[in-house]
Amino acid sequence: MEQRVELIGLSQPELIEFVDGLEEPAYRGRQVFAALQHRRLRSFAEMTDLPKELRARLNKVGQASTLKVESRYISSDGTRRYLMKTHDGLPVETVFIPEEHRDTICFSSQSGCPLQCTFCLTAQLGLLRSLTPGEIVEQILIALNDAYGVGVKPPRGTNLVGMGAGEPFLNFDSLLKALRIMADRNGLYIVSNRVTISTAGIVPKILDLAKVSDRPHLAISLAAPTDELRNELMPINKRWPLEELLKACKVFEKTLKPGELFTFEYVMLAGVNDSEEQARQLANLLNRHGLKAKVNLIPHNPAEPLPYRPSPEETVSRFKKILESKGIHTYVRRPRGRDIFAACGQLAARQETLNTCKEIRSVGVTS
């Protein structure tokens, strides 16, 4: 049997082309796109403005949704964490963070992650596979429907951050396609300047992103001020060391819009990367390259079996002061959803996710 097309991963022009193949007029394509992306309907049966016969045909050849929510956890601070499953049983994690003036949805670009950052629980899964554009978009549709009801317009703006499981730049084309689908004004209409993508430092893709006119904002996970330490914490650094990474950032900097800064994320690990000397090294590194960047200090979220502890608050504020004294805008990120393992680096923390992956491995579904 021919595989059904994942319609949620098609752009509006592609959907028009798709319905053209069914000998339906272009307006039907626009209607289906709006039903999926704007009204956030997850089945053809709900699209009652389409003729019954067309709904039946669409159901035969296409899919309106593919992810299933396996579990949902709601934190005392309102953060919602979802563990979803793909059609082939792989875990996908998404976090919805309500804030006073906007909501932020942290989405995953891969199931698991091939990079081996030692402070990150997702790394323990390895890569299961990259997600399709539809699977990326669907995470946002599911989170919004759950928070506000099917198709209900969110009362605040929605920001997206590609900081969930996976290295987004190792799934570059699907990521960009998903972002373009979501930017469509007949769909979710979340435009690129509301989106930040975080990378561990895949240099060629930073350079590629610099050439994209409707690109999202860029964040780089740094975690260390020297190659020696970064090689240890983020082994991808052996492939693209700091000098090379920062040179790519310098190229990217030319594309920044007025007032736009790019972000370095720096996870604070007690006794590992949080000394005063390391703060000075970090400031010198960034200043030497003259980068228009801000630094986000991220409290580490301790979780078994990771060997790290979070830096004490005084250490974080001393680190921040040193960076600021060297002219670097520095912020301390407030951890959200700690009680439900939704905080940064804690996705995939739950035993259920790790167990799922062991099961998947035992039947040989790895990439």
* Number of Cβ within a 10 Å radius of residue 104: 19
236: helix, coil or strand? Answer: helix
Tell me how far, at minimum, the Cβ of 72 lies from ligand SF4, in Å. Answer: 21
Nearest to 198 by CA among 113, 100, 138: 113
Tell me how far, at minimum, the Cβ of 174 lies from ligand SF4, in Å. Answer: 16
Tokens 């991963």 belong to 9
* Helix runs in the chain, H state only: 12-20, 26-37, 52-61, 133-148, 172-183, 203-210, 227-233, 236-239, 242-253, 276-288, 313-325, 351-362
Task: Determine, following the binding rule CB under 6 A, whether residue 123 of this chain makes contact with ligand SF4.
Answer: yes
Part of the chain binding ligand SF4 (CB under 6 A), chosen from 48-56, 163-171, 308-316, 356-364:
163-171
Among 32, 41, 50, 117, binds ligand SF4 (CB under 6 A): 117
CB closer to ligand SF4 out of 21 and 305: 305
Task: Determine, following the binding rule CB under 6 A, whether residue 103 of this chain makes contact with ligand SF4.
Answer: no
CB closer to ligand SF4 out of 120 and 222: 120
**Whole-angstrom Cα distance, residue 25 to residue 8?**
19
Task: Determine, following the binding rule CB under 6 A, whether residue 120 of this chain makes contact with ligand SF4.
Answer: yes
Catalytic residue among 24, 93, 138, 167: 93
Pairing of strands 195-199, 157-162: parallel
CB closer to ligand SF4 out of 115 and 143: 115
> Catalytic annotation on 344?
yes
CB closer to ligand SF4 out of 29 and 216: 216
Task: Determine, following the binding rule CB under 6 A, whether residue 50 of this chain makes contact with ligand SF4.
Answer: no
**Residues in CB range of 215: below 8 A, 6 or more apart:** 192, 209, 255
**Whole-angstrom Cα distance, residue 301 to residue 311?**
10
**Whole-angstrom Cα distance, residue 2 to residue 183?**
30
Task: Determine, following the binding rule CB under 6 A, whether residue 301 of this chain makes contact with ligand SF4.
Answer: no
Part of the chain binding ligand SF4 (CB under 6 A), chosen from 7-15, 160-168, 212-220, 353-361:
160-168
CB closer to ligand SF4 out of 91 and 166: 166
Part of the chain binding ligand SF4 (CB under 6 A), chosen from 46-54, 113-121, 283-291, 292-300:
113-121
**Whole-angstrom Cα distance, residue 15 to residue 6?**
10
237: helix, coil or strand? Answer: helix
| Alpha carbon distances (Å) from 132 to 110, 183, 245 | 9, 17, 27
Tell me how far, at minimum, the Cβ of 324 lies from ligand SF4, in Å. Answer: 26
Part of the chain binding ligand SF4 (CB under 6 A), chosen from 9-17, 114-122, 246-254, 268-276:
114-122
Task: Determine, following the binding rule CB under 6 A, whether residue 167 of this chain makes contact with ligand SF4.
Answer: yes
Tokens for 38, please give them.
Answer: 């704007």
> Catalytic annotation on 99?
no
Question: Which residues are marked as active site?
Answer: 93, 344
Residues forming contacts to ligand SF4 in the complex (CB under 6 A) are 113, 115, 117, 120, 122-123, 165-167, 200
